[in-house]
Structure 1
Amino acid sequence: MDHETLGHETLDRDKPARDKLDRDKLFTARLLAARARPYLATALFALHAVESRRVPTMAVDRHWRCYVSPVFVDRTPVEELAAVWVHEVTHLLRDHPGRSDRYAARHGVDGRAERLRMNIAADCEINDDVFGDGLPRPAGAVDPQLLGLPPGELMEEYLGRFSLGPLPPGLAWLDCGSGADGLDREWDLGPGGAHGLSEQERDAVRYRVAQGITGAPGSAPEGWLRWADAAFHPPQPWRELLGAAVRSAVAAGGAGDDYTYGRPARRSTSLPGVVLPSLRRRPPRVTVVVDTSGSVSDAELGSALLEIAAIGRAVGGRRDLVTVVSCDAAANLVYPLCRAEGLPLAGGGGTDLRAGFARALRDRPRPDVVVALTDGQTPWPQRRPPCRTVVGLFPRPAGWREEDPEYVPDAPPEWARVVRIG
């Protein structure tokens, strides 16, 4: 029997085995993936495997179903299957379908070609640091180096750096499904299908994974650390939010009301011979309490100075009405904003912003708004101050102490308007 005949007989004999999904092998690979990347275990086991002969390899939908080709599982080593598990679940954790939809809407692009570009860009975001340490790089996996792109960037940044022109020859593009680029596939079960996760359940999985990455020391790559921090603190247009919060506070009813005879009230026309004063809003007074404790970096103090200048602009440019209090465990220095150039911010000890609030409220006239710029690692006043309060929080990972794993830092009080900076 020649080699060609032997090959056909071998294929025919193995055909029934390949027609049936080898779930033992598939789930062994998932367990290996969880052992190699323990911080992703919650997400890996949240995926529901669906056997499908229409899927080229493995693919996910936005509802956290993983569609698996029996032929692909049969021909792929267990270690490479583990790497594919991690690759696919990363698309969902990083919300690539939602980000693809937002990119398409923002740039007015869509269609299969653009969605393929989004899939490739998402693969580049993932594959620059997903392999190694027990997970081999699968054949045909796309990474930034393969396309001549720099590592460590996001999908949206990669989309602006390449087109679907000449691409490396022999490259096997993997179809990662609608869970990678947002384009529905014919094999998708859809939102009403079985075993899909609701939006709230998907968010809960992301939060648990982020908590596992940041809640205790580990060896997660830098990309995952950035993702986890963003999962706890979603990006916000914080400068606009901070300015809006200050403007809203100083515009509140009753803050800084005064009367003037410089412009008589319109009601005076109904009372001949009587001059009534008109109500005038005097410029608001703002006190900024800056956390200068040892846990706040020099870069954050520099950012605080920028925010102080922005606060001065938010109240109409009257810098003489903005006062700055530097505070660590005690209120240290008090300066008017007219000395903003070279404004000294003293401190470096522990943190207790209650002293800063007490100092701010002793001023006469009392401020209409108190703005606290801090990393949040501080006790807060027990009582609500008799003025509006805005808290600008510097970014921090979830708190963790070796001697007290249950430690949770005090959150800003409910009566404060909180804006996360950075």
Structure 2
Amino acid sequence: MTRRAPDGSGALDRTKLLAARFRAAQDRPYLATALFSVTVVESRQVPTMGVDRRWRCYVSPEFVDRLPVPQLAAVWIHEVAHLLRDHHGRADRLAHADRADHHRVNVAQDCEINDDLIADLLPLPPGRIEPKTYQLPDGLLFEQYLPRLPASVHGHPGFGGEHGTGVESDCGSGAHGVDRPWENGAAEGAVSDVEAGAIRRDTARAIRTHGRTRGTVPAGWQRWAVEVLEPTVDWRRALTGAVREAAAWASGAVDYTYHRPSRRSAALRGVVLPSLRQPVPRVAIVVDTSGSMGHAQLAAALTEVAGVLRAVGIGGNRVTVLACDADVHVVRQVHTVGEVRLAGGGGTDLRVGVTEALKGRPHIVVVLTDGHTPWPAAPLESTRLIAGLIGHAPPAPPAWITTVHIADPES
């Protein structure tokens, strides 16, 4: 669908623009649904091309005149990538200080997109932004590029021409989340949040199918499709749930005790009956301090575990922390995370740490590791084992171990 904004006094070469979109869809058929879901709006206010949150693409007639069809097709894919990757939704979740400079956010987003498009051999126009423009690595998310950009970055030349021309591109609120003057907000052609979610899922399924049948989908799009179709569960919630479940299981392990006789004993003269006891769970935390684990990783994971234990009412002298690599170096009962002292740094065999932890007869053992360790051969008697796996693609422990994948705090 194409329409003209009131400010459009010249003619937009719609034939050329739509031919470029058709070429983009023909060359990258897995993006066709997204490409043809966008409404075109002619505007002389937009520097080049930009999208709003409702999947409308504002297009400068001069920009279309300037570029050949192959480059326009690449720009189409670039703008649609902002929408598919929900850049405006993700930008809304940034800290206020980061959101304040939307040009800087746009640069980081362009770095996230353009490294994939360049790897896919798409002919982006001159003046393109990519990670190597700022000596940054490929393959990161814009949230990771943002703090790594030089302090001098407050805008970018974009697709307007070579660097230094003073022509600044702005990909619109569909990218950085800030409404722009040329976005008229009309309801015509708008895509709702529900429809946008359906478009993303449909595109992700097309990418998966295309990749399996033809094997030509770039790695960046494949990773995105996996994230859409198999969303990552918040590891903090998963860890909290695992500990809560284990604590409930341990608290349910009632037993009889004579330390506090049953009140029913009063009805039976000369007979002392035991009362039921519901234990407060004891927890042991085994921390992998091998050379492959970073201090920031351990500190962040320990802090989260401490918060989880407080949330489920376990603390005081009910928690023991063991620092372990190929041997156990520290065994201490702690009251706060600040009391934990990490040691070690050699090879990894956390079985010795688990064995040491079991001497205290804990109800729950939480192991924080990158997964590169042998594990106990069989389930532990009367003890639940939870593995908090830190980092990217760690080896999986045995199926009987409750496993939580913890995002790498350093990534």
TM-score range, shorter chain: 0.5 to 0.7
Match of 1:169 among 139, 164, 189: 164
Does 1:46 pair with 2:40?
no
Per-residue deviation, 1:264: 4.2
Identify if the C-alpha distance between structure 1 residues 418 and 133 changes in structure 2 by more than 3 Å, giving closer, same or farther.
closer
1:338 partnered with 2:370: no
Segments of 5+ residues of structure 1 without an aligned counterpart are 1-16, 287-305, 320-335, 347-359, 374-393, 396-416
Equivalent in the alignment of 2:258: 261
Deviations 1:125-174 (A, max 9, x none): 11112136563121221112222322222211211122452785336431
Alignment TM-score, normalising by the size of structure 2: 0.61
Q: Name the counterpart of 1:232.
A: 229
In the TM superposition, 1:8-407 aligns within 5 A as 19-105=10-96, 108-111=97-100, 114-131=101-118, 135-165=122-152, 169-170=164-165, 172-190=167-185, 193-215=187-209, 216-217=211-212, 218-238=215-235, 241-251=238-248, 255-264=252-261, 277-282=274-279, 338=355, 342-343=374-375
In the aligned structure 1, how far is the partner of 2:39 from the partner of 2:264?
Answer: 71
Within 1, Cα distance between the matches of 2:375 and 2:81? 45
Task: Indicate how the Cα distance of structure 1 residues 368 and 133 shifts in structure 2: closer, same or farther if over 3 A, else same.
Answer: closer
1:45-75 CA-to-partner distances (Å, cap 9, x unmatched) read: 1212122222121100112111112222223
Task: Verify the 8 A CA contact 2:24 2:77 in the aligned structure 1.
Answer: yes
Structure 1 residues 40 and 26: CA distance shift in structure 2, 3 A: same
What letter is aligned with 1:203? Answer: G
Partners of 1:258 and 1:162 lie apart in 2 by 60
**TM-fit CA distance, 1:86:** 0.3
Q: Report the Cα distance in structure 2 between the residues aligned to 1:48 and 1:131, rounded to whole angstroms.
A: 26
Contact conserved, 1:128 with 1:151, CA < 8 A, in 2? yes
Letter in 2 for 1:224: W
Cα distance change on mapping 1:261 and 1:169 into 2, 3 Å: same
Does the C-alpha gap of structure 1 residues 239 and 55 become closer, same or farther in structure 2, counting only changes over 3 Å?
closer
Letter in 1 for 2:375: L
Q: 1:72 to 1:41 in 2, by over 3 A?
A: same
Aligned equivalents of 2:115, 2:247: Cα separation in 1: 48
Paired residue total = 310
| Aligned mates of 1:146, 1:127 — CA distance in 2 | 11
CA deviation profile, 1:349-369 (whole Å, cap 9, x unmatched): xxxxxxxxxxx8xx9x8x797
Distance 1:68 1:267 in 2: 84
8 Å CA contact 1:233, 1:420 repeated in 2: no
Q: Structure 2: which 5+ runs fail to align?
A: 1-7, 157-162, 284-300, 322-352, 358-372, 395-401
Instruction: State how far apart, in whole Å, the 2-side matches of 1:270 and 1:72 are.
Output: 94
Q: CA separation of 1:272/1:183 partners in 2, compared to 1, >3 Å: closer, same or farther?
A: farther
Contact 2:88 2:174 in 1 (8 A): yes
The 8 Å contact of residues 49 and 65 in structure 1, kept in 2 or not, is answered as: yes
Partner of 1:7 in structure 2? none
Which is further off, 247-256 or 224-233? 247-256
The CA RMSD measured in Å over matched residues stands at: 4.6
Which amino acid in structure 2 is aligned with residue 227 of structure 1?
A: W
Is the CA contact (8 Å cut-off) linking 2:386 and 2:404 kept in structure 1?
A: no
Identity of aligned residues (%): 48
Change (3 A) 1:70 1:282: same
CA contact (8 A) 1:18 1:74 kept: no
Q: Deviations over 1:67-100 (max 9, x none)?
A: 1122222232111110110000111111111222
Change (3 A) 1:132 1:154: closer
Verify the 8 A CA contact 2:50 2:57 in the aligned structure 1: yes
